[in-house]
Structure 1
Amino acid sequence: MRSSKTARVVGMTVLSLLLIIFLSPFLITILNTFKSTQEFIENPFSLPTQFNFDNYSKAIEEMNFATGFVNSLIITAFGVLLVLVFSAMTAYLFARFSWKINKVLFFIMTASMAIPFQVVMIPLVTIYGTIGFFDSRESLLFMYCGFGCPLAIFTFHGFIKGIPVALEEAASIDGCGRIRTFFQIVLPLLKPVISTVTVLDVLWMWNDYLLPSLVLQSPELRTLPLSTFNFFSSYSVDFTPLMAGLIMTMLPVLMLYLFLQKYIIKGIVAGAVK
């Protein structure tokens, strides 16, 4: 009894220390947003002499925060919606129709998850840049859909295989077609996986810098991560407003993650096991 209590105390102590270690970069960044750039350069780990919120107002102005926020919101919302719809329908097709071509396509999509984006980055820019496909939200959404669907299809596929076919057969007897059966019977049962894919893709699309930097050239189309580049000049970096901008960029997705975190592991485990 005493040994189990000691083990519990030791475990909680270790977890608390790990929590402090993992949170310390985030907390240090928040503290530095209240300093001047000179104060940050002198000692980035010290407490601010006074809490000054000027960096946040400067970040909003320099980043053109409202425009970047709207661009990020539009691209993330429509990108996630496209990935959810297309991946759920494709996974249903792979799970319910035992065509030979389905097995080949599912293997190709699964294998594509192992290919780093940097491998296809140069061919992507060369091919689509040549045909004038860049510098639009639609182009970026198209690419997000292509890069995001394989993982989502893999997750949905495992979960759909665990749904009893008898439910769909009963709906078919009542006169439901395939499309109506999918949207009214199968899709509502996919809520745990939908929540998981939504959170993962929102975190990815909202925070992504590399792909938007290749596709979006016009300043009025820049997302929030791209807008933080305004703090970099040829010879210096305005660090503290940059950190304030990063904190404001992270807050929306951080709040979403905290709200839906219980669905992430649940959906991943359900999709992998089933």
Structure 2
Amino acid sequence: MASFKSSNIEAEIPEEILIAEIMQLHASISKLESLRPCKQVNSLFSHLVKLCTLPSSIDIEALPQEVQEIRQNLINLSGHAEGLLELEFSTFISLTAEPLKNVTLFPYYGNYLKLAQMENKILKENGIVNAKKVAFVGSGPMPLTSIIMATHHMESTQFDNFDNDEKANEVARKIVASDAALEKRMKFVTQDIMDVRERLGQYDCIFLAALVGLNREAKVKILGHIRKYMKEEGVLLVRSAKGSRAFLYPVIQERDMLNFQVLSIFHPTNDVINSVVLLRKPKA
């Protein structure tokens, strides 16, 4: 596969080359019998991630229908592959002598570290310090954001992690159980967030993982549900994507944030993939 190279680091990859390469990768990924981590799967997704983080000024909304459909399919495939990768690593880490120390073995740990740092900075800049209680929606088998936030940035905060997969929560609990102090501050709840109501009013801050609501329609529904039950003046941190990164993760647009006060929108330009959108529920 031809790769776009340039001596000028800031040079943008031309849109037609980007789309052609992404479509070629999509064809290869679609042919895979399984998305479980292996040399071929890892290589294809690493290539896709690299491609999607190259400087580009692609307008996702303007893409033709055929490319939009491939994009949606890639988000689903990437989400599935990410879940399998997390499950494999978290299962392996949970069986080691010091699971919590070994979360650094996860291939994208450095990425999570940068993302948490970025999110913590955005929260602080908007006056969210010493949150008593935080919810993380879509924590998965490898709840790295919660772990990093709880150990590096919010050292006295109570974390409730919501995931609708009990298997994911089971292995996540095992990792956290290796640290008695952290275990006291971290709960794992197996429930679809659309079934959580009054409890959402307890949190000062709610994180919404990028892969909760894989398309715009589902995401808007979830945002509306959380807004309805969250506390007034509470904040919601939503992960999104911009430009070519939107081939990996769903996007939330300004029009999807109605009835929220938009505090901050940040789009990274380094190897961090997710954009960060910080919303506040205004006083009635």
Q: Is the structural similarity TM-score above 0.5?
A: no
- The TM-score with structure 2 as length reference comes to 0.26
Higher RCO by CA contacts (8 Å cutoff, separation 6 or greater):
1
